[in-house]
Chain A
């Protein structure tokens, strides 16, 4: 079955630097890969979606890459701010049954 790995340890980054989070998966490449932000005690909020035929997607300070050869997606936040501190989840959409397969998330801490 498809498995997803995200760094289980918290990532500490100095304000102003670029934060890079990793999402690795096994087996088949998904049709789409999505990134979400989750704050404590709240539901995840969608950030970006990238298709399997896209290498890179950008939205303001956010950038997502998708490498189907490495079976990996990278999520970058440039010019990071303390308000970016949250848990970031990746989700695979295999394109069937409308289900998403979720990673456990990586907690990002931006220090002032």
Chain B
């Protein structure tokens, strides 16, 4: 089945640690996105990529980093510079060309302990 997979579903991070969230898709989509969702707020864009080996900062990129070495994969690293990382993280992909829906993974809930 085609889809987008995020792992892990739950992640705990100690203060000062970097952690990497995985996102893999087999939908052959060019565009991939990382969003952060906090209670009562809309999805806020962290990073997005429209093509392999290229990505752009979104609205809240500080403290995060990404890579896009393969079309299928778009991992997100939450660095120790991110002061408030506890949140629900969502990865999504879309076909490019407009007029297309976004497909989301199941999400990763990150908690700082």
A98 touches B50 (CB 8 A): yes
Q: How large is the interface on B (under 10, 10 to 19, 20 to 34, 35 or more residues)?
A: 20 to 34
CB B11 to nearest CB in A, in angstroms, measures 14
**Closest Cβ of chain B: how far from A72's Cβ, in Å?**
17
- B window 69-98: CB within 8 A of A: 88, 90, 92, 94, 96, 98
Question: Are B99's CB and A45's CB within 8 A?
Answer: no
Please state if B48 and A43 are interface contacts (CB–CB under 8 Å).
no
Q: Which chain B residue shows the least CB distance to A44?
A: B104
Q: A34-B101, A36-B102, A93-B98 are in contact. List 9 more A-B contacts (CB 8 A).
A: A8-B40, A31-B98, A43-B107, A51-B99, A91-B102, A98-B48, A100-B102, A102-B43, A104-B42
A interface, CB within 8 angstroms of B:
4, 8, 31-32, 34, 36, 41-46, 49, 51, 89, 91, 93, 95, 97-100, 102-105
B interface residues with partner A (beta carbon < 8 Å):
6, 31, 33, 35, 40-45, 48, 50, 56, 58, 88, 90, 92, 94, 96, 98-99, 101-107, 109
